[in-house]
Amino acid sequence: MTREEWRRDAVFVAGRWQPTYEGRTLGVENPATEEIVGSSAEAGRGEVDDAVAAAAAAFPGWAGLPVGDRGTVLRRWLGELRSRRELLVETTIAEVGAPRKVAEESHVDTGLAVLEGYLAAAGSVPWEERVANSLVLREPIGVVGCITPWNYPLYQVLAKVGGALVAGCTVVLKPAELTPLSAYLLADAAAAAGLPAGVFNLVPGAGRVVGEALVAHPGVDMVSFTGSTGVGARVSTLAAPTVKRVALELGGKSASVVLPDADLPAAVEGTVAAAMLNSGQTCSAWSRLLVPADRLDEAVASAAAAAERLVVGDPEATDTLIGPVVSAAQRETVLGFVRRAVEQGAVVAAGGPDRPVGLDRGHYVAPTVVTAVRPDAEIVREEVFGPVLTVQAYRDEDDGLAMANAPDYGLSGAVWSGSEEAALAFARGMRTGQVDVNGAAFNPTAPFGGYRRSGNGRELGKWGIEEFLETKSVQR
């Protein structure tokens, strides 16, 4: 299926759709069918210059509006997005390959909840406060370049753009090349909602061209990037000469730790579901299951059974739980991790490198459970970004905590226990930006971000607004 809304060839700059200088477009592939279902403009450095200039021109007026007035405009934007919910869902299915339920709940509804959360949190930001003879002001940092990944294209954009716009910044957005269509729908909604010209600008294109031009641009005051740790490091390098602020939400290798008194079947079931969500293409996925040594065999068997129960197939089918990964290249990357692990002695308990039965077309990977892995194995320490879970045993809780913290990442994690007090104590020791206890629900208004190689800065709620603010003190 294709739609007219998915065939695009322009950039959105200064409040209007404009043709690119070179007139080039990129095809958008449906990863379930491998068919081209849409197109996107392929912008260049000239379009970046135009967009930054438009954002800079719009900044004084937008930043000068009272917070409540900005909120009124952005609530209209939220309303326009809600009126397009079904189109956003269909677009997510088409460009990501997410099953319908995942597209509805984890992509679209969560993304809209993030924007709603920012609007609600604006009143809790200390925009002005008195400290002795000083008036401390919180002011928008300026023009923000937002660069987003392909795994959650709507959510990731709103997590950045929503906070920046509530803060009073103006934005130039560069969405992922593989999944630009959701960003086009956001721009449509922005135009319909009457966002002032230049407040939100959309410049799709290649990361090596558009992304790097945006990061290095002297007219950009801040860059907010989500993606791989390697690219995040390059973003920091390119931004350094202009000494602009950089917020990075990068990779993860999160552990789900089952303490000895936990309900093991429930913990394993919850961990498998979280690890496989969005075909494992989630930076905060619990991709490592750590269990007491005397329950390893039981945990492996339970995890394998849970993985095999997950229905893999057509994202439009009502019973599908796992869709394809986003591209042929990503599929090969994921399977390469599994093959190398097996070569090093690991055991595949479920799934593996073979295609799921009956799926000869599309970038499908079977939900995979791997065990008998060395503590220093690549598949244990590096982000796979696919539906792959490793299962390991720990000797005691100190050993389990050390294993949880062993990778260089620190984005998310989980702990399971019959005692909430014990779980909280363990969570305090985990070197990660977010921990869920006994499968607690994701909170779109709580801060999200990482330690160490998982990045810096925070998104969501009031913390995601404050990320885009400068602090000024006025003495009187």
Measured between its terminal Cα atoms, the distance across the chain in Å is: 64
What is the rounded distance in angstroms from the CA atom of residue 74 to the CA atom of residue 89? 21
Q: What is 4-250+454-475's CATH topology?
A: Aldehyde Dehydrogenase; Chain A, domain 1 (3.40.605)
Degrees, nearest 5: CA angle 346-350-351: 100
Share of the chain above pLDDT 70, in %: 100
**What would the mean pLDDT of 175-194 be, rounded to a whole number?**
98
Q: For the chain, what is the mean pLDDT?
A: 97
The pLDDT score that the predictor gives to residue 10 is 98
Q: Express each pLDDT in 386-423 by its tens digit.
A: 999 999 999 999 999 999 999 999 999 999 999 999 99
Alpha-helical segments (H) within 221-322: 229-239, 264-276, 296-309
pTM for the predicted model, two decimal places:
0.96
**What would the mean pLDDT of 212-218 be, rounded to a whole number?**
98
Q: Which residues pair with 452 in a beta bridge?
A: 409
The pLDDT score that the predictor gives to residue 312 is 98
The per-type count for the chain, helices as H runs and strands as E runs, is 16, 22
Q: Express each pLDDT in 133-175 by its tens digit.
A: 999 999 999 999 999 999 999 999 999 999 999 999 999 999 9
Q: Express each pLDDT in 291-343 by its tens digit.
A: 999 999 999 999 999 999 999 999 999 999 999 999 999 999 999 999 999 99
The pLDDT score that the predictor gives to residue 164 is 98
pLDDT tops 80 at residue 1: no
Active site residue 104: no
The tokens of 447 are what?
Answer: 């801060």
Degrees, nearest 5: CA angle 158-273-186: 15
Q: What is 254-443's CATH topology?
A: Aldehyde Dehydrogenase; Chain A, domain 2 (3.40.309)
Portions of the chain given CATH number 3.40.309.10: 254-443
Q: 375 with 411: CB under 8 angstroms?
A: no
What is the rounded distance in angstroms from the CA atom of residue 363 to the CA atom of residue 340? 20
What is the rounded distance in angstroms from the CA atom of residue 433 to the CA atom of residue 309? 31
pLDDT tops 90 at residue 2: no
Considering the candidates 116, 283, 383, 459, report the single residue annotated as catalytic. Answer: 283
Rg over CA atoms, the chain: 22
> What distances in angstroms separate CA 110 from CA 59, 378, 428, one per listed residue?
28, 32, 26
Q: Express each pLDDT in 45-54 by its tens digit.
A: 999 999 999 9
**What would the mean pLDDT of 21-28 be, rounded to a whole number?**
97
> What distances in angstroms separate CA 357 from CA 331, 354, 363, one per listed residue?
16, 9, 13
Neighbouring residues of 123: CB distance < 8 A, sequence distance ≥ 6: 67
What is the rounded distance in angstroms from the CA atom of residue 168 to the CA atom of residue 140? 5
Portions of the chain given CATH number 3.40.605.10: 4-250+454-475
Q: Express each pLDDT in 241-269 by its tens digit.
A: 999 999 999 999 999 999 999 999 999 99
Q: 421 with 463: CB under 8 angstroms?
A: no
Considering the candidates 42, 90, 249, 466, report the single residue annotated as catalytic. Answer: 249
Active site residue 249: yes
> What distances in angstroms separate CA 67 from CA 124, 134, 139, 178, 413, one per listed residue?
11, 22, 11, 35, 35
**What would the mean pLDDT of 64-72 be, rounded to a whole number?**
98
pLDDT tops 90 at residue 42: yes
Give, to the nearest 10 degrees, the angle between helix 110-121 and helix 67-83: 160
Neighbouring residues of 208: CB distance < 8 A, sequence distance ≥ 6: none
The pLDDT score that the predictor gives to residue 92 is 98
The pLDDT score that the predictor gives to residue 350 is 98
